[in-house]
Amino acid sequence: MNYLFTSESVSEGHPDKVADQISDALLDEFLAYDPNSKVACETLVTTGQVVLAGEVKSSAYVDLMEVTRRVINRIGYTRSEYKFDGDSCGVFSAIHEQSADINRGVEREDVMNQGAGDQGMMFGYASNETDNYMPISLDLSHLLLIELAAIRREGKQMTYLRPDSKSQVTIEYNENHVPVRVHTIVVSTQHDDFITPADNTVASQAKADEEMLQVIYNDVKNILIPRVINQLPERVKALFDDKLILHVNPTGKFVIGGPHGDTGLTGRKIIVDTYGGKGAHGGGAFSGKDPSKVDRSAAYAARHIAKNMVAAGVADEMLVQISYAIGVAKPVSVYVNTYGKSKVEMSDVQIAGMIDKIFDLRPKAIEERLKLRNPIYEETAAYGHMGRKPQIVVKTFSSKYIPQPIQREVELFTWEKLDYVDTIKKAFGL
């Protein structure tokens, strides 16, 4: 019997994602000027206010307010009517120095024996149901919002759009766990109050709201979704049919949004950040954490492993778990689940043993292999940390405390590279 599976995504203007992006922008600033910075910063955003908190050990001095305001304005909160904008919101900082008790467990005389910054378990997942080895429900959810933000920034169509939005995609699978169609799409987008009621009566307001909703529904159906479909490979395009169920702004109106409509916090969208509910999650958030925190670096390493293993043909689907003890370099355990889709004559336990031999999973080794001590994190903080395109970019950092801007060439999303496929094939005799 066929079954349904659903994933959601949220836009860069969603309050929790605003918080994530501020935290990661601050992390990038510290790493740009001092690559050895230890950072764990959290952000709270609400009506007209940003609160920064956390622990930092760094030789760099960062203008926290300037970075915070830049991020908010980049996202699109630039109008006072949003009740939250980059130029006028308050910014309160409660960031202080990192605990010496934590630091002593991490730093070592031999840097390669650097201890894990915390205990915990991290998961990586990959499936061959999409070209980027991601669950198709999450991949489509991200694409809808990336394209919606592109339309908003172009300013030519759907000119009523505001930054806050959410999406949700339900996929129908057959008994063999193969996607057969896109079943339901939900899009909720913040918008201007762009139709004025004829008078102040409840009936006139309801009529204006209904007319606005119809415009937004038609635009999502006739502008947004076709633009997304045009970007898809043929095998995914084939999943769309005339039976698609579409819900747009199901509450009927979404004018009040962003941090004014809902308080945002760093780390509250960990499933959006990873696999949309597929695989598993260890519970640790990513944003605002430097790579000594294995919550982040080991989750990236686990994704890198799972993706390369599936791409190499070891399995059609794979979940990898890595667990650590705080202050200890080597993992406590490595676990693999291929969901019965292994393509090699080995048990999942044996595959896990091979992974432990192929990949050095000490935190410092992960940092070096994936080039994680670079300012690469602001780009990860919206539309998912996994399934993204690896690329080399030049980033410029400027500060009123340093005479000249600095430029750093960095590689984004290194954990998405398929650079271990040949090594894995050789190890497994594929």
Binding-site entries for L-methionine: 55, 98, 262, 293
Q: In what order do the strands lie in the sheet with 161-173?
A: 3-10, 161-173, 179-191, 245-248
Write out the binding residues for K(+): 42
* Dist CA 389 CA 36 (whole Å): 26
Q: Report angle CA 91, 22, 93 to the nearest 5 degrees.
A: 30
Residue 222: which of 174, 157, 129, 308 has the closest Cα? 157
Write out the binding residues for Mg(2+): 16
DSSP 342: B
Residue with tokens 């760094």: 58
Write out the binding residues for ATP: 14, 164-166, 253-254, 262, 268-269, 285, 289
Class of residue 380 by CB neighbours under 10 A (exposed 0-12, middle 13-18, buried 19+): buried
- Max Cα–Cα distance, the chain, nearest Å: 75
- Cross-strand bridge partners of residue 169: 7, 185
- Strand 391-399, strand 49-57: pairing: unpaired
**Quick one: tokens of 287?**
């944003």
DSSP 36: T
* Dist CA 286 CA 176 (whole Å): 33
Which residues are CB-contacts of 429 (< 8 A; sequence separation ≥ 6)?
A: none
Write out the binding residues: 14, 16, 42, 55, 98, 164-166, 253-254, 262, 268-269, 285, 289, 293
